[in-house]
Structure formats: C-alpha cells, structure tokens
Amino acid sequence: MTGITEPGPEGRTLDARLAFHARSRPDHVAIAHEDRTVDYATLHRESTATARALRACGLTRGSRVAYLGKESEHCYELLFACARSGAVFVPVNWRLAPDEVEYILRDSSAELLFVEEEFLPVARALRAELPELRDVVPVGELREWRETGAGTELPGGCDPDDPIAQMYTSGTTGYPKGVVLAHRTFFAVRDLLDSNGLDWIDFRDSDISLLGMSASHIGGIWWATQGFNAGITNVVVRSFGAEDVLQLIRDRGITTAILAPAMLLMLLAEPGVRPADFAALRKVVYGGSPISESLLQRCLDTMGCEFAQIYGLTETGNTAVCLPPADHVPGSPRLRAAGRPYPGIELKVVDRDGRDVGTGVVGEVCIRTPARMLEYWRLPEATAATLVDGWVHTGDAGYLDDDGYVHVQDRIKEMIIRAGENIYPAEVENALSAHPAVLDVAVVGVPDDRWGEAVHAFVVLHQGKSVAPHELRAFARGRIADFKIPTRYAFVDEVPRNPSGKILRRVLREEFWSGRDRAVN
C-alpha cells in the first residue's frame, strides 16, 4: 500500500492500529463529516474514554453494543471503543422498521444502544420490551456520557481472533442472522495483497476516501476500516444522495471510494454530470450486487479512473474475489466475471452433493478465506451448514472459467426454472439493461401453468424514453437464449432494493406467489 508506514504484526487489531496512527500521524484528519473533522489523536483519545465508560457501566468482553443512526463520526468512535474495551459492535440499519430493529436488539442481546435523535422515539419505545438492554444513550450526550468512565481500568489488548463486529445479513428471505466477525477479518485481504505486491485495492498517504456505504453493511464497515487502518482521511456520507455525493467527490477531492452499482447508476443519472466532476478520483471499488456491462462502460467513460470489482459475503468478511483494474478493458469477456480470488484465498464450485464440478459448469460457489466469520450468533446448526471444514458455502450459483475467474450467476434460491431449464435473473437483467431506453431492470420468476415459471421483467426507463415489450424481446434475442427472454413486462418507477443495493426479489414476487403452498411451480 503505497507510501504508508506499517506497524508490526502485533498491530492486526483495530484498536492497536488506531493507537499506531495516533502516535505516528496524530494531526492527520481521520474523519471529515459535514463541517466537522476528527484527527487520529482525537479519535484515539475519545474512543478510549468511551471504552472506559463502557467498562464502568458493567460491560465486559463480548458484551454487545448497538448503534442506531446514520453515518457520522460517532459510529466509528463507538466501533473503536468496542475494540479497546473488548465489546462487540452491532450496527443497526436505520432504514429498518421498528419490529426489525427490535429483532436485532433482542437477538444480539445488546446491553447498550447508542442512538441518534431522530430515532430516539423508536429506541425508547423498544426499551421496555428488551430486558437485557441496560440503557439507551443519545449520541448528542456522548461527550458527557464518556466522562462517566474516567479512571476506569481497561483490559489488555485484543487478539486478532477476538470478535469485534456482529453484522446482520440483509434478510431478503426469513430473519437476518448475526454474523460474528473477528479483528482479523479487517486485515486479511490487505495483508494478502501486500505480501504478493499487488495494488488491486490500494491506499496512499494523500488519499481521501469516500465512505459511501452504511456501516450496517459489510461493504461499508470493511471499507471504512481499510481507510482507518491505512491512516488516511475518510469522508463520511451521512446517507447516500446522488447530488450530495457528487458534490463531495468534486469539492473534497475524493481519490478513492466504494460504491454499489445502484449508486453508480444514480451518480451518472445526475443532471449535468461530467468527467470533470471526477478529476481527483483515481480508483473506485464496486460490489454488493451484479453490475451490467452497459453501466460499467458508462462509468469507465465518464469517471476516467481505475475500477476494481469485489465479490464476497458478510460471511466471508466481505471481499474474497476481485476483478482488478487491469481486467477492466472495454469489450473484454472478463468484464462479465466477478474476478479471481486473492492470493491465499481458495475457491471451488460444487454440485448439490458437495462434489467439485468441471470448468464452465454452474454450481454453488464455496470460498476458504482467512477473513471468514467466526459463527452465526447462537445458531450452531446454521453455522455448521454454511461453514464446512473451513469453507463458506455462499448460496451463490456460479462457474469457473479456464483462467480461474469466477462468474456469479445469481443466488441459487432466486434461480428461475422454466420447463426444466435453469435461468439466473442477473444474466437476463444484464442483457436488457444494455438497451438505451432502460435505466434499471429486475427479473423474477412467476407462476406459469404451462412452463412452471415464466420470466417477468420489471423495467425502469430513462426519463423521456419509451420502449415496447416486443422491442425488448427483439433486443434480447441473440444476447441470451430464447427461453431466458422475459415473456412478461411491467414498467415501474423504481426497482425495490435493500440498503446495499441488492434487488428485493421477494417484494416483486409476492403478489404472484401469495397464497401458494410454495414459491416454486
């Protein structure tokens, strides 16, 4: 990682790394948020004081500390306070409904909840229902609350295998699971890149990083820790809005960022956007959901910087596979791949019986990575089903090509079966999104009496554009097999997505499958 001084191996915990930067570059800005800045010395001092307060109120190693709020310096102060005290940080997505928030707080056995002002009514209403929750602390009172720990002794340093974060999966189906991650999760990939002299994802002393994703999403917290571990300046986006983010990129001189494909789509759709807006940007890391080739090409043309695609899961500690900048060549077939594993990370594709399949054969993608989760919180059977002999079974369908690149088709459970043929929504969406009138598209399977399932496309058009279903069918012909081409179309204002940009297919499927015994036909 160019130009950055590294501590020794003992620095592979978040608290140790922050302490190192507080000593080596105390005045360097760690966080810039709205009109406020926090340097590394201040972040270390205040998070240590908060850690003392956590211990003073009775929390011990492994206690869960939740945060409900939008992105701010407070979120990351709490993360580092948990690291220093031995507690486990549980970021809660502020977009969730009260019942969903309650589920996470109850499931995690959170003992403290830090909350922003606008979410206080929800938090206080829930407190009576959560006997393990000791207190609800408004972040506006964090400075005063922090002082309650003055003089409290802190435990010795953490171990890289100690838990630091409990991330809740998106919950696109069923209840979300608490994925417990260790400190090592946030160092493993960077160490592998460094030891192999690769700059697929790199940081430089002068970098200004955009934290464009929420810390309640694995991509968001992983990217934030990479910036803090590197000792660079991190610009916090309170909540993603394309106009505001475009202004930040331009006015703050953002050099590196992580963005979901849906965010890239929104940025490029901003009126008046031009290449000059991205003059300082040198690298964008993207992931979280599939990207269409047409959108990627527009990004390359307009942003004029390097792009690196990452693929992984919360369970793999975020990225395990990368399509590096060198593979982002216009027209290259590799642009259709998720990438290849980082050196030191293993990947295989297996059939339903767990046997390796041949090159080009679709099966379940399995990954062995040193960044993998410790467990699903209090779900030993689910842990054992997902984490088998050190391999994370992803639930994603994909295949390996002759060069060892993995092509992810879709979630296995979201596969459409039409007359016995397997259809993966992402490949259909990729074909339709190349049409010049199409802004966004989502594809699901719906019941069909003749074929079992029919392919149904929900299409969002560019403003002022129009296209008929028969024109979309003709456009897709030759790009994908005929049996994959949607036979049904709905033109909608937007595609429902979760905060990480993944399409909420269950929402789209619900009206078609409601009342049936099962969601396949």
Which percentage of the chain shows pLDDT scores above 70?
95
By C-alpha distance, which of 287, 212, 220, 219 is closest to 244?
212
pLDDT of residue 414: 83
Q: What Å distances lie between residue 64 and 51, 89, 152, CA to CA?
A: 13, 6, 19
pTM of the model: 0.84
Q: Average pLDDT, stretch 417-439?
A: 85
- pLDDT tens for 368-393 read 999 999 999 999 999 999 999 999 99
378 compared with 329, residue with greater pLDDT: 378
Count Cβ atoms below 10 Å from residue 252 Cβ, excluding itself: 14
Q: How confident is the model at residue 427 (pLDDT cuts 50, 70, 90)?
A: confident
User: Helices (H) and strands (E) in the chain — how many of each?
Assistant: 15, 26
Residues 405 and 340: their CA atoms lie apart, in Å, by: 5
Q: Average pLDDT, stretch 486-507?
A: 89
Out of 27-41, 114-128, 457-471, 494-508, least confident range: 494-508
pLDDT, mean over the chain: 92
Residue 471 has pLDDT above 70, yes or no: yes
Residue 256 has pLDDT above 70, yes or no: yes
**Tokens at 122, concatenated:** 């929800």
Q: What Å distances lie between residue 51 and 60, 158, 223, 352, CA to CA?
A: 10, 13, 23, 46
Q: What Å distances lie between residue 197 and 173, 380, 389, CA to CA?
A: 40, 38, 29
Residue 1 has pLDDT above 50, yes or no: no
Residue 172 has pLDDT above 90, yes or no: no
By C-alpha distance, which of 298, 350, 344, 342 is closest to 324?
342
135 compared with 422, residue with greater pLDDT: 135
Name residue, tokens 């991190």.
234
Which percentage of the chain shows pLDDT scores above 90?
76
Residue 5 has pLDDT above 70, yes or no: no
Residue 489 has pLDDT above 90, yes or no: yes
518 compared with 511, residue with greater pLDDT: 511
Provide the 8-state DSSP code for 132: T
Q: Are 428 and 484 in contact (CB under 8 A)?
A: yes
Domains of the chain: 35-158 (3.40.50.980), 186-412 (3.40.50.12780), 423-513 (3.30.300.30)
CA geometry: angle 122, 126, 128, nearest 5 deg: 140
- pLDDT tens for 433-460 read 999 999 999 999 998 877 778 999 999 9
pLDDT of residue 506: 85
Q: Average pLDDT, stretch 340-350?
A: 97
pLDDT of residue 520: 46
Residues 39 and 43: their CA atoms lie apart, in Å, by: 6
Residues 493 and 137: their CA atoms lie apart, in Å, by: 39
Q: Are 30 and 233 in contact (CB under 8 A)?
A: yes
pLDDT of residue 481: 79
